[in-house]
Amino acid sequence: MANRPYEKGLHDLGNGCFAWLVPDGSWGYSNAGLIVDSGETLLVDTLFDLKSTREMLDQMHRQVPASGTIGTLVNTHANGDHTFGNQLVRGARIVATSKCRDEMLERPPEFFRNLFGAWRALGDAGAFMHEVMGSRFDLSDIVAAPPTTTFDGSLSLNVGNKSVELIEVGPAHTPGDLLVHVPQDRTVFTGDIMFVKGHPIVWAGPISNWIAACDRILSRDVETIVPGHGAITDRNGVRELKCYLEYVLVEARKRYDAGMNDEEAANDISMERFKDWGEPERLVVNVDAAYREFEGQGGMPDPMRLFGLMAKAHFARNGCPACKGSSVVHTH
């Protein structure tokens, strides 16, 4: 499974399961899924903007004619790169966890359109956000299309004669994450519970709950794993991500106990073992999540502070395109 090609487009996993892959899987370049049986269809997630979602739906329709009408759209979580194309899936019922729906209503597309539009006024955090998302995706014309059916815990659906299980595993990446499991095909679409060859980003946490989500995948008889970002993987991919999360939790704890702050800890932790993983700037977000976990704090972090810290880490490595400087001192 892990050797399937990582190429843009629709990949036939067999027996009516398909994955839409978008390399390189970095910020905003997310995957989606399609399940078809006896003329019924279920789409797992839409993409970050209308252009990319339209391209995906058109290609699905060409390759899988039944997908011209999507009966059910499942959103694995609330992030825009998995939901901002929802409005194009006309007539479908949209299913998600109730926490996912709450987050989508709290932070609608116009919130992000305004935020990305104001990047010049937001210092390094804004420059970074623009580089990795605002300049890549067009959020104009996106309107809110929140879930119409919600659940807590788990929900079983039928797509034709195929049964599909939705399993709530958040809070982890976001407050309302879910997995889409197709037992008879030993396939799971994980949304952003799985990143392959990229650092995961723990927005909500706790990390221990994300580790538990990995165990829930591994406890099932699954073979093919379609991540939210990156190449199709297998059980080893889940074990690798679990290792990363356990490692960050253990290493962050040592530095928390030694009195380092989250930024100092992130700079101090050796990532040699994961050095070929993309988006290393996310480590500081994950250390911050670990720190909140140690302090018994639930809820969400301050995203602008974390974007500021990621910007600093990213620009120190790659230079800043806005001011053409590689120093951590910027004046734009």
Which residues form the interface with Zn ion (CB under 5 A)? 30, 79, 81, 192, 228
**Of 163, 191, 181, whose CA–CA distance to 222 is shortest?**
181
d(CA 14, CA 280): 34
Q: How far is the CB of 199 from Zn ion (least distance, A)?
A: 12
Helix (H) or strand (E) holding 254: helix 235-257
User: What dihedral angle (degrees, nearest 10) is formed by the CA atoms of 321, 325, 329, 330?
Assistant: -40
Min CB(192)–Zn ion separation in Å: 4
Q: Would you say 31 or 67 has its CB closer to Zn ion? A: 31
Maximum Cα–Cα distance across the chain: 60
Nearer to Zn ion, 40 or 103 (CB): 103
What is the nearest approach in angstroms of Zn ion to the Cβ of residue 54? 19
Residue closer to Zn ion, measured from CB, 67 or 174: 174
CB of 48 to Zn ion, least distance (A): 8
Nearer to Zn ion, 29 or 315 (CB): 29
Is 81 or 288 the residue whose CB approaches Zn ion more closely?
A: 81
DSSP SS3 for 217: helix
Distance (Å, rounded) from C-alpha 35 to C-alpha 92? 14
> Which residues, in sequence order, are CB contacts of 58 under 8 Å at separation 6+?
none
DSSP-derived secondary structure letter, 203: S
The least CB distance from residue 203 to Zn ion, in Å, is 10
For residues 16 and 80, which CB has a smaller minimum distance to Zn ion in the complex?
80
Distance of closest approach, residue 289 Cβ to Zn ion, in angstroms = 16
CA angle, corner 133, sides to 178 and 53, nearest 5? 60
**Residue 265 · residue 287 · CB < 8 Å:** yes
Q: Is the dihedral of CA 133, 53, 6, 196 positive or negative?
A: positive
- To Zn ion, the closest distance from the beta carbon of 28 in angstroms equals 7
Q: Based on CB atoms, which residue is closest to Zn ion, 193 or 320?
A: 193
Report the residue number, 79 or 224, with the smaller CB distance to Zn ion. Answer: 79
Least Å distance, CB 30 to Zn ion, is 4
How many residues appear in the chain? Answer: 332
**Separation of alpha carbons 145 and 168, rounded Å:** 21
First to last CA, the chain: 46
Contact between residue 198 and residue 25 where contact means Cβ atoms under 8 Å apart: yes
Q: How far apart are CA 141 and CA 119, in angstroms?
A: 19
